[in-house]
Structure 1
Amino acid sequence: MSATPTEQVQDSAADSTSSEQVINTTSETAEAAKQALAEEDLSIPEDVPTADDPSSRAAKNDLSGAGFTLDEFASLLSKYDYNFKPGDIVNGTVFALESKGAMIDIGAKTAAFMPLQEVSINRVEGLSDVLLPGEIREFFIMSEENEDGQLSLSIRRIEYQRAWERVRQLQKEDATIYSEVFATNRGGALVRVEGLRGFIPGSHISTRKPKEELVADFLPLKFLEVDEERNRLVLSHRRALVERKMNRLEVGEVVIGAVRGIKPYGAFIDIGGVSGLLHISEISHEHIETPHSVLNVNDQMKVMIIDLDAERGRISLSTKALEPEPGDMLTDPQKVFDKAEEMAARYKQMLLEQAEEGEDPEVVPLD
């Protein structure tokens, strides 16, 4: 049955009202969604794990699709060449101190080991005197890996190498060093220089003290021999003193000294803490059979410096150049000493004239 026109109009109005309601509802929903989005907190929650958080990773990796097994991977890793060779110096981290040595991480497959005796060139009571857990420093690789794949390390070898480099440089600079005597023996005294053991021959110790009483004394020293291959480090106390004294002395100067020793070839004269040699040929213009015929130990006398050899640590002395008349040292030594400064002035003038004429200076009679 067909609807009447009136009914059609009513249906149309109803449809229109329904559409408006749908449109209004949709609009309100969109507006509400916008409002909710605006109010939503988009910050990352604190409980969300980060990429470097171990808890965010799977406890066990599935390598089924990797193309090789775990055993194969371990085999490849064991063949990896770390290029650690004896003689290399590498950085390492101390991670354990044990009674017999230290465990060091140098990035190898197995922790390296440093024995206690290799911790320092100097004597130490324990590892903790030198190392701290977590400390990073250089280590010397002493040997190939052992059967456990472990390398042996040393700090002492590094210190040893650098100590020899340092003493070679000091010798090249002709430096004077100070070192403590820690022991003496029949031949001389022992000291340490940059951690290396050095020897002072008895003939190069210049002091009135008995040799045994030098222990714990600090002495000025010069280098005589630096030989790493032979492990020889020889020093001179006398040279250091002579050099220091030489800075205040000059050829032609008259000094007062005391006879400390007499040998067949001459006498050793102490002049202010250092020894000079008065050779038998420089005692008098007259021939002398032996220095004992003219000099006695502990005699006080005036001598003139005729040569200063800093390199060899030697001071050469003369009384012959001070003789007013040849042979005065044999017949009247007091006359020699009384006129010493006058004769020395004449000697200096002679040296000056010889230098101006280009002649080699020599000791000659001045009368």
Structure 2
Amino acid sequence: MAALLNQFCGLRCPPASSSSLSKPAPSLFTGKRVSTVVSAYYALTSEQKERLKLKEVFEEAYERCRTAPMEGVSFTVEDFTAALDKYDFDSEIGTKVKGTVFMTDNGGAVVDIIAKSSASLPVQEACIHRIKHVSEAGIYPGLVEEFVIIGEKPSDDSLILSLRAIQYDLAWERCRQLQAEDVVVKGKVVGGNKGGVVAVVEGLRGFVPFSQISTKSTAEELIDKELPLKFVEVDEEQSRLVLSNRKAMADSQAQLGIGSVVLGTVQSLKPYGAFIDIGGINGLLHVSQISHDRVSDISTVLQPGDTLKVMILSHDRERGRVSLSTKKLEPTPGDMIRNPKLVFEKADEMAQTFRQRIAQAEAMARADMLRFQPESGLSLSSDGILGPLTPDLPAEGLDLSDIPPAEEEAAYSE
């Protein structure tokens, strides 16, 4: 038995697993457990070696950062502070800075202005007009623009920028220039009160007194309509912008010669005629001036929104009234009812004929007057034209503003 035991003790066993190492080995003869210590060796994989190497590098770096964080670094804290001071700029309110938009959202945009922190552009400061998103004002990531500083956020000391303030100054400068040039501009009516209406011109809200409006319309009737306007007062310091529709209308009407043909749009129909918009001026096409044939119902010939050619019969500059005619443009009586397209095609030709007849009649009247003034040296040509004509006559014909308005001469036309 002793010999047999010595044989078993001399056997070599393979490395035991971790599970087998945790349990005591049972005795072959006594039935009791015997404690056995087994030593095992195995090779590391390439992945395990790499992880072990990374661990050593990390531990070395951690120890270096803990004990000597600035070792080997040439850029010191003092250098960093000096760099900030070198590239810093004046951040006072009112200062203009150039920046690059790098993010937009519903609240506005975030702008890089090469400062210690980014700046914000609120949506209400992105444009002089009211917008819901900065994209409506052409603001997008990557846009380089000049902004003006208008404030600072107390929470993080970041700056607040504005484009609206810059556009506001440019709008006032533009209005001063337009006033100096005496230019007629279009303004959209957005509000009103008992004294007049508010119109937007160049992005600014200007006031148009009712005394400076050529029509008798109420403020409610003028809302959302565009009016031709001229500048009366432009005072940026007092924020006063006063406009006049009457001055603009007088300027436009001065360019309308009697007998000239203009393009118009039917605005509304009345039993006595149609109101025609001729470039911002409201003219009346009386029912008696539509055609040589009798028109009992205007709606059978015209409808609101129709575009047509009309001839200027007369205009009252003080009251802003213009009398129009299509009757004078008919090649043959009744064409406006039967074939309005032909009337518009022949409009310029018929108007020229009308102006020539008026000029000849005027010349004959002058000739009759000169029979009593032979020393004037004027004579009548074979065409019935008196010459030389006075230099103040318009190129398109005579200004017959003294002729009664169309609605007054209607009683004699039939």
Scaled by the length of structure 2, the TM-score of the pair is 0.44
